[in-house]
């Protein structure tokens, strides 16, 4: 069992290659700044990606498409409650997490009681969340309290604070999946829900907690991103719909469920940011950038799946 | 050359198959002639399935040679196989499933000849089978599916079947249907067909085979005419010492209070082994699944589960395919020894190692993937999962499918020992011999309990009578 057989290594290698290509173009200038930016922006993708990974682990058909709307709603309500007043950062955090908790319960209620496929349930519900966000502050941009903004853009031991948050959460998720009873139950449910149920796993409780987790992770990301970028915007979550799924897949987790991969999510989050930077520094326009990003994701998914078939 | 009629359908010369370091088959020479009915026996993991896959062309040998009389491919030579793992497409009808292996059926209106052909084959093997060729396969019971699969194996399909390999064909059939199949095999061989018959049920092998081959660890250890074997001799040749079953145990009187009772009338007392019997597909499995689901929850969990389940339909109800043997064993017992929600991995490894030895799972390392095991060994893992959990009631849904004779004896003993320690077992089986080991038996007919037998009343005759009574009256 060498390190090369671990599926997460590939996203990390890809991130390193993209990093090297950019530095080759700038002949080494700005290496530190580039790494810092990748860790800052990658942290947001990594946190939503960790949540999405838990849901995708539940098995085929399980995915949360309400991630962008949850981020927007949590950020909007939190910033509105804080109203740029100093010393309210904790209040805002609690509100954001509470919104995430409520969204998770609502999503799962739709899936469980109405027996809707998760894709439809979360997509439809996200329209409601987005409308609530619009209705609650009518598009006004409220600045975060300055202390919170300083935290979100600040650094500790040379690394961005948001990256520390992302790393901490990654370790928590890793411990839960690899070492805890609950993680075993989640992985068992994702492989074969009926067999897991007959082995004594409380599968519906596992599913409910997983949908709540992804919503809480999204809400936290929304809160941090709004603080980082100086206020909540209605389209702030838009790019995280594809991003949250892409980092899971590129990171080496199985789309068929029952198998997940925490370090790969971080590697893939850095890679996704660096690809965009690379195309920017090579002077590609927005259209070319999107086409190439899509092509790269498809290529990696194909490469990963053929490798697994041969193994 | 030799006369076409008597030339072997297939000849294996020192054929071997290795999967990495595993020697699944280690040099086997064998000729199957028309009219042969070969009984193939051996323990789980002895190489039976590998041998079958070499003959039918599913695998190619690592070394050695396989020759067919007509043409070079198994299909052209008229070699067919019927597997114990059901391989029909559940979303297609019975007739459409025939088409999958019958390339000559094409053009508009191909369903009509398909229906006629499958119906003829079913009628020939299983008179009065009652299967509609237009029925979708997933509406059929597991026994009916097995019947359809056997009928497809024997159907002409454009050419003619010359060698049919049957891998555990009767394990999900009840006694009456199994007898029809055995009678058909005898007719088929008398007409110049050849059959390779794999079964763990010794009585059937002795009844139908004219030659018996014993496989052990990938080699043929004995090959003789059936008349030259005795039952004990055959079991000894397989290399497993089985203790004579202690029939004269008498009825145990020291049973505890009643701890299971369902609306249907199913009941069990503490420490009792309760059997469920009757014809396959008459509601026994559904009753057990309902009982399990009603005594456990999708939402709540406790430190000690109340019930444990041993699945018979392994891919659907039991095996967690991405995991190791270790994790498959421990999943039901994780809450024991867990501290602050974290798994105690030392205790987990100890439990798995202990059960590997106790129940004899054939693997070097319990950290190997569960799918690296043969079917019977996967079944042992599911047994270990249920017995390793502290549940006081163990529900078993036909758990002995594909398990070899020696292991069955070990598991019977283990069940008796656990019952003596106060565990309750509910045990559905298609094999009357197993049901007769129980303290009390409920016979099912049309999804209802038609009889409750205890002690000396538990006999094959009584069970059969209770299974059929109503059908004669209606």
Q: Domain residues of chain B, as ranges?
A: 10-238, 247-473
Q: Is residue B194 within a helix (H) or strand (E), and if so which, with residue range?
A: strand B194-198
**Do residue B292 and residue A184 have CB atoms under 8 angstroms apart?**
no
Residue B44: per-residue pLDDT: 66
Query: Does the beta-carbon distance from B318 to A188 stay under 8 Å?
Result: no
Q: Is the pLDDT of residue A227 over 50?
A: yes
Q: Does A182 touch chain B (CB under 8 A)?
A: yes
Hey, of B322, B336, B370, which one would you mutate to test binding to chain A, going by the most A CBs within 10 A of its CB?
A: B322
Measured CA distances, B424 to A229, B267, B407 (Å):
63, 11, 21
Its ipTM equals 0.85
* Among the listed residues A243, A204, A223, A244, the one whose alpha carbon sits nearest the alpha carbon of residue A99: A223
* pLDDT per position as a tens digit, B124-181: 898 888 888 888 888 888 788 889 989 988 888 877 788 899 988 887 788 888 889 9
B22-32/B10-19 β-pairing: antiparallel
Q: Which structural domain, as residue segments, surrounds residue A66?
A: 44-284
| B317 contact residues in A (CB cutoff 8 A) | 194-195, 198
A2 lies in a domain?
Answer: no
By the CB < 8 Å criterion, does A192 face chain B? yes
Query: Under an 8 A CB cutoff, do A258 and B320 touch?
Result: yes
Q: Is B301 on the interface with A (CB under 8 A)?
A: yes
Residues B438-457 have a mean pLDDT of 84
Is the predicted pLDDT of residue B442 greater than 60, yes or no? yes
Higher pLDDT, A97 or B403: A97
- Structure confidence at residue A232 (pLDDT): 83
Band of the pLDDT at B371, cuts 50, 70, 90? Answer: confident
- A171 inside 8 A of chain B by CB: no
Distance of alpha carbon B394 from alpha carbon B390, whole angstroms: 10
**Contact criterion met (CB < 8 Å) for A200 and B317:** no
Q: Which residues of A touch B300 (CB under 8 A)?
A: 202, 205
Which of B298, B316, B341 is the closest to A204 by Cβ? B298
Q: Which residues pair with B166 in a beta bridge?
A: B82, B197
Contact between chains at A202 and B385 (C-beta distance less than 8 A): no
Task: Tell if the CB–CB gap between B308 and A200 is shorter than 8 Å.
Answer: yes
Element (H, E) at B167: strand B163-167
pLDDT of residue A182: 92
Provide the pLDDT confidence category of residue A167 given band limits of 50, 70 and 90.
very high
Q: How far is CA B107 from CA B92, B99, B104, B454, in A?
A: 18, 12, 9, 58
Residues B346-365: what's their mean pLDDT? 86
Beta strands of chain A (E only): which ranges? Answer: 155-156, 159-160
Give yes or no for residue B241 having a pLDDT over 50. no
| pLDDT of A307 | 54
Q: Is A187 on the interface with B (CB under 8 A)?
A: yes
pTM of the model: 0.74
Mean pLDDT computed over B317-321: 90
Note whether B10-238 and B247-473 share their fold: yes
With 70 as the cut, is the pLDDT of residue B433 above it? yes
- What mean pLDDT comes out for the span A241-270? 86
Cβ atoms B283, B298 nearer than 8 A: no
Q: Taking a contact as any Cβ pair under 8 Å apart, which residues of chain B between 345 and 384 contact chain A?
A: 345
Q: How confident is the model at residue B5 (pLDDT cuts 50, 70, 90)?
A: low
Contact residues for A83 (Cβ-Cβ < 8 A; gap 6+): A142
Whether the per-residue pLDDT at A252 is higher than 70: the answer is yes
Sheet with B424-428, strands from edge to edge, namely B307-310, B393-397, B424-428, B273-278, B440-445, B448-454
pLDDT given at position A75:
92
Residue A305's pLDDT is: 64
Comparing CB atoms, the residue among B297, B300, B316 nearest residue A194 is B316
Q: How many structural domains comprise chain A? A: 1
Buried/exposed code over B404-426 (b: 16+ C-beta within 10 A; e: otherwise): bbbbbbbbeeebbebbeeebbbb
Residues pairing with B342 in the sheet? A180, B339
Q: Is B327 on the interface with A (CB under 8 A)?
A: yes
Q: Quick check: B239 pLDDT over 80?
A: no
Long-range contacts of B444-448 (CB under 8 A, 24+ apart): B444/B276, B444/B277, B444/B278, B444/B279, B444/B282, B444/B283, B444/B284, B444/B287, B445/B278, B445/B279, B445/B282, B445/B469, B445/B470, B445/B471, B446/B282, B446/B283, B446/B470, B447/B282, B447/B283, B447/B286, B447/B287, B448/B264, B448/B283
Residue A289 in contact with partner chain B when CB distance is under 8 A: no
B139-153 pLDDT, tens digit each: 888 788 889 989 988
For residue B200, pLDDT beyond 80: no
Measured distance CA(A133)–CA(A70) in Å, rounded: 9
pLDDT above 60 for B472: no
pLDDT band at A260 (very low <50, low <70, confident <90, very high): confident
Q: What pLDDT score does B446 carry?
A: 74
Whether the pLDDT of residue A299 is over 60: the answer is yes
Q: Does the pLDDT value for residue A233 go beyond 70?
A: yes
Sorting pLDDT into bands at 50, 70 and 90, what band is A4? low
Q: Check pLDDT > 80 for residue B8.
A: yes
| Residue B30 in this model has a pLDDT that exceeds 70 | yes
Does the beta-carbon distance from A200 to B296 stay under 8 Å?
yes
**What is the average pLDDT across A18-45?**
87
State phi, psi for B440 to the nearest 5 degrees: -150, 145
Q: Indicate yes or no: CB of A198 within 8 angstroms of CB of B338.
A: no
Whether residue A296 is contained in a domain is answered as no
**Lowest-pLDDT range, A263-272, B221-230, B349-358?**
B221-230
For residue B197, the Cα-to-chain-centroid distance in whole angstroms is 13
Whether A202 contacts chain B with CB within 8 A: yes
Residue B444: which region, alpha, beta or left (left: phi > 0; alpha: psi -120 to 50)?
beta
So what's the pLDDT on residue B474?
36
Which one of A144-158, A217-231, B332-346, B360-374 scores highest in mean pLDDT? A217-231
Examine the pLDDT at B81 and tell me if it is beyond 60. yes
Does domain B10-238 correspond to CATH entry 3.40.50.300?
yes
Q: Is B319 on the interface with A (CB under 8 A)?
A: yes
Best residue of B307, B331, B336, B396 to probe chain A, by most A CBs closer than 10 Å: B331
Residue A309 has what pLDDT? Answer: 44
Burial B379-400 (b: 16+ CB within 10 A, else e): bbbbbbbbbbbebbbbbbbbbb
Band of residue B248 on the pLDDT scale cut at 50, 70, 90: very low
pLDDT by residue (tens digit) across B274-286?
989 877 767 888 8
- How many angstroms from the chain centroid is the CA of residue A282? 27
pLDDT of residue A23: 86
In a domain, A304, yes or no: no
**C-alpha span between B125 and B464 (Å, rounded):** 21
Mean confidence (pLDDT) of chain A: 87
Q: By mean pLDDT, which of A286-300, B125-139, B245-259, B289-303 is the weakest? A: B245-259
pLDDT band at B49 (very low <50, low <70, confident <90, very high): confident
Report CA dihedral (B383, B385, B390, B391) to the nearest 10 degrees.
Answer: -60
Residue A309 lies in a domain: no
Record: contact A196-B320, CB cut-off 8 A: yes
Confidence grade of residue A216 (pLDDT, cut at 50, 70, 90): very high
CA dihedral B216, B429, B202, B384 (to 10 degrees): 20
Which of the following CATH numbers is that of domain B247-473: 3.40.50.300, 3.40.50.720, 3.30.420.40, 2.70.98.60?
Answer: 3.40.50.300
Whether chain A has a CB inside 8 Å of the CB on B334: the answer is yes
Inter-chain touch A192–B331, beta carbons under 8 Å: no
A70 domain residue, yes or no = yes
Q: Does B45 have pLDDT greater than 80?
A: no
Q: Which residues pair with B394 in a beta bridge?
A: B308, B425
Closest partner CB to B342 (pick from A180, A198, A201): A180
Question: Is pLDDT above 80 for B382?
Answer: yes
* Domain-embedded: residue A289: no
Asked if residue A122 belongs to a domain, the reply is yes
For residue A45, what pLDDT is reported?
A: 94
Walk across the sheet containing B219-225 and list its strands: B79-82, B163-167, B194-198, B37-41, B211-216, B219-225
Give the separation between CA B132 and CA A188, rounded to whole angstroms: 38
A252 chain-B contacts, CB cut-off 8 A: none
Contacts of A197 in chain B (CB under 8 A): 293, 296, 298
Which long-range contacts link B216-219 to residues 24+ away (Cβ below 8 Å)? B216/B42, B216/B43, B216/B46, B217/B23, B217/B26, B217/B46, B217/B47, B218/B16, B218/B23, B218/B24, B218/B25, B218/B26, B218/B27, B218/B28, B218/B46, B218/B47, B218/B50, B219/B26, B219/B27, B219/B28, B219/B47
Q: Chain B closest CA to A136's CA: distance in Å?
A: 35
Question: 3-state SS string over B99-135?
Answer: HHCCCCCCCCCCHHHHHHHHHHHHHHHCCCCCCCCCC
Q: Is residue A105 part of a domain?
A: yes
Give the residue on B whose Cα is nearest the Cα of A205.
B299
Is A99's Cβ below 8 Å from some Cβ in B?
no
Asked if A94 is an interface residue toward chain B (Cβ–Cβ < 8 A), one would say: no
A-chain residue closest to B383, CA distance: A199
Least confident interval from A100-104, A156-160, B136-140, B348-352: B136-140
Separation between Cα atoms, residue B444 and residue B470, nearest integer Å: 11
Pick from A125-134, B63-72, B410-419 the range whose average pLDDT is largest. Answer: A125-134
Nearest-CA distance B416 → chain A (Å): 22
CB B299 to CB A180 under 8 A?
A: no
Distance CA B313, CA B331 (A): 18
Rounded distance, CA A68 to CA A225, Å? 12
- Nearest CA distance, A201 vs chain B (angstrom): 7
């Amino acid at each position: 069992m060498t390190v090369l057989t671990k599926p997460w290594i590939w996203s990390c290698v890809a991130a390193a290659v993209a990093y090297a290509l950019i530095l080759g173009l700038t002949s080494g200038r700005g290496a530190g700044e580039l790494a810092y930016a990748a860790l800052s922006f990658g942290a947001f993708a990594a946190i939503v990606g960790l949540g999405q990974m838990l849901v995708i682990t539940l098995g085929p058909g399980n995915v949360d498409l309400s991630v962008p709307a949850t981020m927007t709603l949590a950020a909007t309500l939190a910033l509105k409650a804080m109203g740029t007043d100093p010393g309210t950062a904790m209040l805002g955090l609690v509100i954001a997490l509470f919104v995430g908790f409520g969204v998770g319960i609502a999503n799962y209620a739709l899936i469980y009681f109405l027996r809707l496929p998760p894709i439809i349930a979360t997509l439809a519900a996200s329209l409601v969340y987005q409308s609530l966000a619009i209705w609650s502050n009518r598009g006004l941009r409220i600045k975060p309290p300055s202390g919170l903004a300083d935290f979100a853009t600040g650094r500790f031991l040379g690394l961005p604070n948001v990256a520390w948050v992302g790393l901490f959460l990654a370790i928590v998720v890793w411990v839960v999946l690899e070492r805890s009873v609950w993680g075993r139950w989640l992985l068992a449910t994702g492989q074969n829900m009926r067999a897991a149920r007959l082995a004594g796993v409380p599968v519906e409780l596992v599913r409910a907690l997983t949908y709540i987790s992804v919503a809480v992770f999204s809400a936290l990301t929304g809160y941090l991103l709004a603080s980082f970028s100086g206020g909540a915007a209605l389209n702030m979550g838009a790019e995280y719909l594809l991003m949250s799924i892409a980092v899971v897949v590129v990171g080496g987790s199985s789309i068929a469920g029952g198998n997940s991969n925490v370090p790969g999510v971080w590697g893939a989050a850095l890679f996704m940011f660096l690809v965009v930077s690379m195309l920017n520094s090579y002077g590609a326009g927005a259209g070319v950038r999107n086409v190439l990003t899509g092509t790269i994701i498809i290529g990696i998914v194909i490469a990963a799946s053929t490798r697994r078939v041969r193994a | 050359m030799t006369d076409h009629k008597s030339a072997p359908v297939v000849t294996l010369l020192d054929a071997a198959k290795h999967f990495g370091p595993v020697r699944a088959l280690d040099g086997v020479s064998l000729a199957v002639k028309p009219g042969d009915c070969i009984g193939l026996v051996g323990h789980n993991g002895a190489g039976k399935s590998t041998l079958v896959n070499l003959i039918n062309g599913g695998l190619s040998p690592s070394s050695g040679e396989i020759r067919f009389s007509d043409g070079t491919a198994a299909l052209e030579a008229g070699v067919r196989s019927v597997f114990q793992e059901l391989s029909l497409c559940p979303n297609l009808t019975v007739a459409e499933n025939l088409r999958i292996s019958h390339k000559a059926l094409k053009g508009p209106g191909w369903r009509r000849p398909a229906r006629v052909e499958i119906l003829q084959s079913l009628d020939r093997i299983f008179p009065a089978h009652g299967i509609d060729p237009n029925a979708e396969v997933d509406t059929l019971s597991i026994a009916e599916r097995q019947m359809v699969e056997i009928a497809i194996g024997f159907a002409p399909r454009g050419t003619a079947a010359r060698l049919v390999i049957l891998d555990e064909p009767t394990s999900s059939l009840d006694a009456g249907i199994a007898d029809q199949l055995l009678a058909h095999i005898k007719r088929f061989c008398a007409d110049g067909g050849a059959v390779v018959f794999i079964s763990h049920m010794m009585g059937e092998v002795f009844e139908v085979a004219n030659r018996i081959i014993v496989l052990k660890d990938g080699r043929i250890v004995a090959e003789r005419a059936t008349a030259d074997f005795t039952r004990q001799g055959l079991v000894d040749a397989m290399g497993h010492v089985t203790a004579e079953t202690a029939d004269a145990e008498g009825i145990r009187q020291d049973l505890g209070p009643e701890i299971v009772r369902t609306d249907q009338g199913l009941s069990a007392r503490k420490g009792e082994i309760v059997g469920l019997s009757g014809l396959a597909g008459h509601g026994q499995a559904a009753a057990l699944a309902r009982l399990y689901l009603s005594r456990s929850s999708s939402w709540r969990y406790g430190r000690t589960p109340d019930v444990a389940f041993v699945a018979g339909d392994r891919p659907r109800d039991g095996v967690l395919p991405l995991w190791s043997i270790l994790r498959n064993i421990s999943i039901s017992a994780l809450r024991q020894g867990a501290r602050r929600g974290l798994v105690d991995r030392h205790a987990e490894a100890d439990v798995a190692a202990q059960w590997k030895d106790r129940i004899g799972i054939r693997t070097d390392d319990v950290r190997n993937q569960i799918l690296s095991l043969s079917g019977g060994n996967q079944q042992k893992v599911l047994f270990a999962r249920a017995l390793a959990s502290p549940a006081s009631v163990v529900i078993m849904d036909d758990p002995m499918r594909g398990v070899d004779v020696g292991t069955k004896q070990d598991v019977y003993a283990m069940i008796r020992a656990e019952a003596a320690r106060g565990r309750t077992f509910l045990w559905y089986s298609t094999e009357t011999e197993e049901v007769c080991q129980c303290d009390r038996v409920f016979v099912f007919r049309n999804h209802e309990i038609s009889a409750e037998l205890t002690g000396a009343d538990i006999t094959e005759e009584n069970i059969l009578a209770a299974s059929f009574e109503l059908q004669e009256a209606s």
